[in-house]
Amino acid sequence: MARIVGIVVAVLLVMGIPVAQAQGDEQAERARFNVEAWLKQELGKSGMILVNYSYAGSSWEDSAMGCPVEGQTYTPGTVNGYSWTFLFDNMVRYEVHSNLDGTQAVLCSSVSASSNIQLTPYQALNFSILSPEAWLIFSNAGQTTVLFAPQQQITCALPGMRVTVVGRIASGITPDQLLDEYLSQAGAQDNPADRSTIGSFGRSTLFQSACENASRQWRVSMFVQYGTAYRVEQWAPADVFSQWAQAYLDMLSQFVPGNSTPAPEATAAPDTASDSSTTLETPGAAEVVPLELAALPMAHLFVGDVFIGTLNAIPGRSITSVPTLERRYLTFSPDGLFLAFTDVTDAQIRALNAAQGLSARLVAEDVDPRFPPAWSPDSQEIAFVVAAGQTDAGTALEIRAATRDGSTARTLGTFTFGGDCPTTLTDPADKPYFQEAGQIVFHWLPGDRVIISSRCDGGLSLLNLADGQITDLGSDLDGGAVSPDGARFLARTETGVALIDVTTGQRTDLTVGQGAQQIAWGPDGNTIFYATETLADSITLDTSPDQSRAEEIFGLWPVSFGMYTLSLVRLDLSTQAEQVIWQGQGRGVGKIAVAPDGSGVLFSVIQSSLMLAEAFQTGTDPRSARELWPGPQLYWLPTDGTTATLLAYSGQPVFAPITVQPVPPEEAAATP
């Protein structure tokens, strides 16, 4: 094969050093210009600056031009062209083959021109990881198998890395078991002392294998998160593996599965088009609050403290400053001007003027923190529950009311509260879920009536404050919400939901809402939103070798970890038509808050504890486990939107029952 060789050098324009004009054959120069432009586009690095290059005239026997790609077919026939070597300012040297005019080119290999291994992040659909700047990236169509290497052909003389999304695995399968299976299939053995933990979800090991007349050293790592397994294979010739050992660990330290809140494709409810359902947006894009959010007054619990503000300016401003206290039941007064909440740790009710944003004032002490505060219909008083003794039927409780500044208190009535509350939890996500959901009912209704939970395990009663008469509404009723006008109450039952007229006590059981957990009314008084949860996957730790570690980390034994499929459903009361508007995964939907202008829905999702189980199986320590503990995430789903957007890692969302028009952009820009 005839070869015509030429060398052209371009001097990098750095710190005032001039660039020398490349000299050479005019045809080759035109080809170089085309190939350089193609290479930058192919690499996605248009800003690279050429340092120097060389070329040689060559010819090849087919359209692969000397760099065939496995699985592709090529046209036979001689192709004349050039072999190029480009060195750019990233200190990577690329080998490219092209035809004579540079309109067809193939990238053959790349190698670092520096002794330092520079790492750069790579983001795939299903994972992210660091990889050497000098390496090329070859991916299948779904990015479930991605090769990082100097060239696509894996040879014994070159290092490389391959990341594979293994897919869903059976509950309880650990990364160590996956490593054992991998080694068995490879006919290899590792030294147990080489096993190590990578991050919170991975395990890694080393082994060697024969490769032609030499040895290849491997590091193979398995990660398991939310029931999906990932494999990272890294290799190099055994005699140079030590040069790559630390870089490989650095790459693994930044491995992150694609989405920590998996959201399966939603299925439509009966009589509903499937394309109307939505899923959670991926974390990378989800933390950007849409600009079109209205300035609706709201409150939520953010990093343990109560924050008030508006929907378009989350998180707002803090009105408490001790995040270690447990707080629940954020409740706006009917006029939307005051906010009350329960301090569970100190058994207190506190309230504040939401417009002024001053510190919350103490309204009542020694309250029963299982019950939320209840505002009077005129917004002047706050009702609360205190213990009044024990009876054969249960705990005697007294309902009291205090003015919103706590200056005056009076007794409204008494009732008996029975039933057993769940005290033994087996899933670490259960406690944050039940804290967020809060299913005990306590509402002060127009006409001096109170609807209240009569038992911890279910049952609602209607108390007439004028004469103290208590009407049993049904022992099968559990949780629920009051309509915007205060005239109706929608409660869940074992078979669906029931609508109660709070004036007459009349109950209407509906044939919809099966499996409803959290319930919220739309502002029109005709639309209901409710959440459901279905166990999709679980792991249980109940063997003796795990007990001491599990009790130290989780404080529970035995321990179960569940992943639930969650749905948010919209129900039209007039037609009883249901529509799934969102599906995702986690432990459960904690709170639902419908925007008072009907523009969308805020809802909190408690994460699944399955990630804790996977971390436990990789040998995580108690401190690392605490960082993975399930907590609430706050999402916004617009009425006509297709994606639920993550707004904050917060919970207990509540809107003030008034509508405020969005601030015009020009006014917002002028506000200091």
- Give the whole-angstrom CA distance, residue 201 versus residue 205: 14
Name the residue with higher pLDDT: 623 or 235. 235
Question: Where does CATH 2.120.10 sit in the chain?
Answer: 274-324+418-664
Q: Is the pLDDT of residue 444 over 50?
A: yes
What is the mean pLDDT of the segment spanning 542-561? 87
- Give the whole-angstrom CA distance, residue 325 versus residue 479: 25
Mean residue pLDDT of the chain comes to 83
- Which pTM was predicted? 0.67
Q: Is the pLDDT of residue 74 over 60?
A: yes
- Give the whole-angstrom CA distance, residue 201 versus residue 188: 23
Contacts of 306 (CB under 8 A, 6+ apart): 299, 300, 318, 319, 320, 327, 330, 339, 341, 360
User: Are the beta carbons of 470 and 411 closer than 8 angstroms?
Assistant: no
Q: In this predicted structure, what is the pLDDT of residue 215?
A: 93
Token digits for 227? Answer: 């029931």
Q: Domain 274-324+418-664: give its CATH code.
A: 2.120.10
What is the mean pLDDT of the segment spanning 664-668? 41
DSSP β-bridge partners for residue 638: 600
Q: In this predicted structure, what is the pLDDT of residue 263?
A: 36
Residue 429, helix vs strand vs coil: coil
Q: Is the pLDDT of residue 661 over 50?
A: no
CATH number (3.40.1180.10, 3.40.1000.10, 3.30.70.270, 3.30.420.40) of 119-257 reads 3.40.1000.10
pLDDT tens digits along 595-633: 999 999 999 999 998 888 888 887 877 877 887 889 999
What is the mean pLDDT of the segment spanning 493-505? 88
Q: In this predicted structure, what is the pLDDT of residue 349?
A: 94
3-state secondary structure labels for all residues of 490-552: EEECCCCEEEEECCCCCEEEECCCCCCCCEEECCCCCEEEEEEEEEEEEEEECCHHHHHHHHH
What pairing do the DSSP bridges indicate for beta strands 127-132 and 381-391?
Answer: unpaired
Q: In this predicted structure, what is the pLDDT of residue 520?
A: 94
- Give the whole-angstrom CA distance, residue 96 versus residue 57: 12
Closest CA to 605 of 630, 582, 567, 633: 633
Name the residue with higher pLDDT: 422 or 611. 611
Overall size of the chain counted in residues: 672
User: Are the beta carbons of 490 and 521 closer than 8 angstroms?
Assistant: yes
Q: In this predicted structure, what is the pLDDT of residue 232?
A: 96
Percent of the chain topping pLDDT 90: 41
DSSP β-bridge partners for residue 538: 562
Helix axis angle for 610-617 and 544-554, nearest 10°, is 120
DSSP β-bridge partners for residue 478: 492
Q: Is the pLDDT of residue 277 over 70?
A: no
- Give the whole-angstrom CA distance, residue 391 versus residue 513: 36
What pairing do the DSSP bridges indicate for beta strands 279-280 and 643-648?
Answer: parallel
Closest CA to 383 of 351, 355, 360, 358: 351
Q: Is the pLDDT of residue 76 over 80?
A: yes
Q: Is the pLDDT of residue 14 over 50?
A: no
Return phi, psi of residue 664, to 5°. -55, 145
Q: In this predicted structure, what is the pLDDT of residue 18?
A: 35
Name the residue with higher pLDDT: 665 or 186. 186
In degrees, rounded to 5, the angle at the alpha carbon of residue 175 between the alpha carbons of residues 200 and 197 is 40
Q: In this predicted structure, what is the pLDDT of residue 644?
A: 86
Q: In this predicted structure, what is the pLDDT of residue 11?
A: 35
Q: In this predicted structure, what is the pLDDT of residue 167?
A: 87
- Give the whole-angstrom CA distance, residue 71 versus residue 422: 59
Question: Where does CATH 3.40.1000.10 sit in the chain?
Answer: 119-257
Please tell me the chain's helix, strand, coil percentages from 3-state DSSP, rounded to the nearest 5.
15, 45, 40
Q: In this predicted structure, what is the pLDDT of residue 669?
A: 39
Closest CA to 112 of 130, 138, 94, 97: 94
